[in-house]
Structure 1
Amino acid sequence: MLRCVAGTIVALAATTTPALAAQPSPDLQQSIAADQPLATGRATLATGHVDIGPRYVDDEWTLLVHDGTQARPVWRDPDETVFRVSDAALQSVPDDPAYAFLDIEAGRRVHVVPQVQDQGVIWLGWNSQDPRVLQTIDRGVTLSLLGVHGPGTLTTFLQSGNFAAPQVLWRSAEPAAQPIWVEVNTHTHANWVFSAPGVYLVAVQVSADLISGEQVSSTRTLRFAVGDAASAEEAFAATAEVPGAAGQGAPDDGPTEAGDSSDGPGTTLLAALVGVAVLLAVALVVVLVRSAGARRRAERERSAASPDGRP
């Protein structure tokens, strides 16, 4: 069953008027063909429908960009893709306590990639609909924000069409990884709010338990040029120590399976056992030294008490 999540564009206007309900876009009813190609070469995507999602490339699990901006959709390497968020995406933060989680003062203009499609703005979501992904994952995938490097903050949230409170998914201001659950065969769009213009690098990980019992994971960096003045070339060239981005691989680098890290649970347990062994050895040495000292003192005391000076 296809699970579609749609709702309203956030009412980021200097008013307390609730967001108006919107009908789900027909584009959410997509299906993805197994033969959609993997495009090569750089692409800057400024308008139209785009998702991120897991896919198998040469039998390897990876996170790619599903580009639906053209008549025939293709998949793209995140390192060769820049999402341009133009000034057409500017909106004002409302004077409404419901949006306090943005940590941005009311009335300030910010760039918003909307949950509901605006033809003049890039429309970015995620999906778990690649045919082989559908066949191999167990129930769904975990999509996690690992870290963001940029001139401001990034906040991603959902807002339903029934005036419900915003559902916060990701906040770059939070220091820890932020996972969200994505059921199998899901296509979702959300609001992406950038507090300042400039280049952003966003580290995202997609992981899953497979029906076979195997665990797979892929971490990639999404590149954003926010604002008309932001340079797409700078976004392509940008590098940063984004948490979790180290070790990311292009599609032909293969999947990163859980437990492969040298800092994983096995290494931690080994270090702990070594530490315990060292402490026990030190304690044993202390006990032996103290015992030897006690014996020597006892012998001296007996010798002093004997009339002939012998023990």
Structure 2
Amino acid sequence: MTGSIGNDVTIVDACTRGGEGGSPTAVLVDDVTFSDSTRRAIVRRAGTSHAAFVDPDSGTTPTVRFFTASGELTNCGHGTIAAQAFLLHSRRLRAHRLRQRTGGRTFDTTAVQRDNGIEVWFDQGPVELRSCTAAARDSLLAALGIGVDDLAVDDVPCVASPGTPRLLVPVRTPAILLSVRPDLRRLAADCRRLGYLGCFVYTLDPNRNAGAARMFAPAIEVGEDVVNANSTGCLAAHLFATRGQRGVDVEQGHAAGRPSSVFATASGTTQGISARVGGMATIRSRPTDTVDGDAS
């Protein structure tokens, strides 16, 4: 990596809401001379929680790798939105349809320039849904500081995995959601023991296909995400399985002071329930005022 960070790294605010907020994500052209330790150092230097490294020579099927300061991720939802916005912007296009290669999987993406940013959608693929054991559920709820009476009466916690499992936790009201103050050390230990990425705590609006959520992933050193796009796709799959609901718009980032939004749809396929995930992105020129972002 040469020169100043502002010359090498583009900061993309992924999953903005109304043209504001979003999760700051570092995006840059990858270099075959980079070691993984160099990539981790770049994340620390950028001041974001994640960075997307884009292969410049992969044409219509770019290879994108995602790193946090602690290591590589097999996928990253908001990072994919940031990477695709970066590609559209750097190629000076109004729209594109590409295939992205990440973590051994290749999937469809679209990006379109809109008046308030770049709209990106990607194919998340099949989402595995399963029940959580009572012991695991109770341990994680205790770590989150969520009581049984706080849970939604018409929904239940479940494990969802688009590749990496996480616990979806429904709570009754937005006030309860905002009041969650987890014991991050205990939550990290429980998630590592169970093999979970983290816990996606959400509440739903009964009058429309929308809700709000917070994601806690201290097991990978991201205490709380601004945005978790992949978990929104997991929620869409869960709602499709349990209610036949085909889409959801989830507000996130309020606890971090960065209003954000992720859209997701779900449908039945021969491989099971699959989800598509979308969000708006804004290109920024320099890495200032950065905060934690999406785990994966």
TM-score by length of 1: 0.30
Report the structure number with the largest CA radius of gyration: 1
Q: TM-score, normalised by structure 2?
A: 0.32
The structure with higher relative contact order (CA 8 Å, sep 6+) is 2
